[in-house]
Amino acid sequence: MNDRLSPQALASAGTLQKFKMFIGGEWVDSASGEYFETDNPYTGLPWGLIPRGNEEDVDLAVKAAHKALHSREWRGLTASNRGALLRALGDALGEHAPRLAEIEVRDNGKLYAEMSQQTEYLRQWYYYFGGLADKIEGAVIPIDKPDNFTYTRYEPIGVVAAIIPWNSPLFLAAWKIAPALAAGNTIVLKPSEFTSASLLEFAKVFETVGFPPGVLNVVTGFGAEVGAPLSVHPLVAKVAFTGSEATGKRIYASAANSLKKVTLELGGKSANIVFKDADVDNAVKGVISGIFAACGQTCVAGSRLVVQKSMHDEFVEKLVALAKSANLGDPMKPTTQLGPVTNRPQLAKILDYIDIAKKEGAEAVIGGKRPVEEALQNGWFVEPTIFAGVKNSMRIAQEEIFGPVLSVIPFEDEEEAIAIANDTTFGLAAGLWTTDLRRALRMPARLEVGTVWVNTYRAMSYMAPFGGYKQSGLGKESGQDMIKDYMQKKTVWMSTQEEVPNPFIIR
């Protein structure tokens, strides 16, 4: 937010695009009538006004979702028909992919090149889970009690609260919306206050497909004012959250009161491990894209380079040369390779960590400051930064920065590499660069993380389960199994006996 003019004044001056929220199939203002600004990270200026929701809006949205859950239009749909609606949504999203990517860039400052790939790809989650909707089967149990017929069935859980962060809103929301709706639930979606516009635009596409009203609702606003009441609302059955470790833990604790189901996709401090036997040029490219893609603002950022001592200097030199060639600028331009970071608080946090690193004795071999070019002064840019001389115990090696800052940590042998990689409270992902087949087969089992990439980094798919070990999260997203995280299993017992036995004679 900025303090030049109030949001209301800017709106009445007609300079900002004004959005509405989506509740019960209607486009509405917030109950309070208030708005907040959403900023463009490249210009540093506001471009839109987002309704500032609160507890009252949350209550309306949850009740709308609850009503839809029990409505004939939704409950009465066959699983095949739910699947068809999801596939139609995938088609519609495909048609709007370039426009949605542009809105995403305007709000989060990531490269159009990356966002357009993401918005093009995200329809696959809707196709995949749409296809899965009518393939979830219960079982008939060959029960040990005679005269009984016993079977299980899968049912939706209820109203799902999906709380989304700012780094890839449409993409991370799809991971939750597609399986939740395929399973027959209804949803209240809460975008990040930094990037609400793309999910509101998504709801416009959603609306055209034919889902009954209230099946998906979007309430915009701040964490404390919308996210917190949403995650304790008595009619919410499950909270699916992606975001910071601190907020995730708060949600887990508050959801416990009413025994809500919770999935959490939290942070990481992932190690990209490079052995001397690696294909060095590939490893350099993999390490650079692991940390500088999306300006380091991904939960899987390979923010620790764990590199074999005997090749340390040569490898760092090559990294620096490639990092130096990165073209910073307007994220909409195809020639730009590194955009701004998404928001002002994040910029301040990254610069703070850079200071901390210097005070801890690490040496910035490249970057370590904001760029000086005139053209980059308005946007929230940070130079690609590589710190050498980092010990794994330092704060920059232990705490998630979520920015373009790489810590280089040397190791002697495989045992030490594993020890360093695992010496963190996080456990989201790791990269491994080696041409030794035995090592490539041996090591993934010993890394305490939810995903290991061997000779690649950041590959993701709707088919592949994704989620953290340790304090990187609870539960998985994507892949076939996880649809059951949005369902509950019921057991039905039926007697085939003509006569109920005497209750006082125990058999």
Tokens standing for 310?
Answer: 């005997």
Stretch that binds ligand ADP, among 173-181, 216-224, 368-376, 428-436 (CB under 6 A): 216-224
Give the three-state DSSP class for 342. Answer: coil
Cβ at position 271, least distance to ligand ADP in Å: 22
Are 255 and 286 a contacting pair, CB within 8 Å?
no
Residue 180 found at the interface with ligand ADP (CB under 6 A): no
The vertex-73 CA angle with 69 and 78, nearest 5°, equals 90
Cβ at position 30, least distance to ligand ADP in Å: 15
Which of the residues 50 through 89 are near ligand ADP (CB under 6 A)? Answer: none
Tokens standing for 270?
Answer: 């992932």
Among 169, 227, 384, 468, binds ligand ADP (CB under 6 A): 227
Beta bridge partners of 46: 39
Cβ at position 492, least distance to ligand ADP in Å: 36
Cβ at position 199, least distance to ligand ADP in Å: 10
The number of residues that bind ligand ADP (CB under 6 A) is 18
Residue 106 found at the interface with ligand ADP (CB under 6 A): no
Catalytic residues: 265, 299
Residue 223 found at the interface with ligand ADP (CB under 6 A): yes
Residue 39 found at the interface with ligand ADP (CB under 6 A): no
The contact mask relative to ligand ADP for 137-176 (x = CB under 6 A, - = no) is --------------------------xxxx----------
Stretch that binds ligand ADP, among 90-98, 100-108, 240-248, 409-417 (CB under 6 A): 240-248
How many other C-beta atoms are found inside a 10 Å radius of the C-beta of residue 320? 16
Residue 244 found at the interface with ligand ADP (CB under 6 A): yes
Cβ at position 367, least distance to ligand ADP in Å: 22
Residue 250 found at the interface with ligand ADP (CB under 6 A): yes
Matching residue, tokens 């035995």: 438
Are 226 and 190 a contacting pair, CB within 8 Å?
yes
Cβ-based nearer residue to ligand ADP, 224 or 500 = 224
Amino acid at 154: Y
As a whole number of angstroms, the distance between CA 215 and CA 73 comes to 10
Residue 224 found at the interface with ligand ADP (CB under 6 A): yes
3-state helix, strand, coil in the chain (%, to 5): 40, 20, 40
Matching residue, tokens 């780094």: 167
Residue 294 found at the interface with ligand ADP (CB under 6 A): no
Are 368 and 354 a contacting pair, CB within 8 Å?
yes
β-strands 261-265, 473-474 pairing: antiparallel
Residue 406 found at the interface with ligand ADP (CB under 6 A): no
Are 196 and 273 a contacting pair, CB within 8 Å?
no
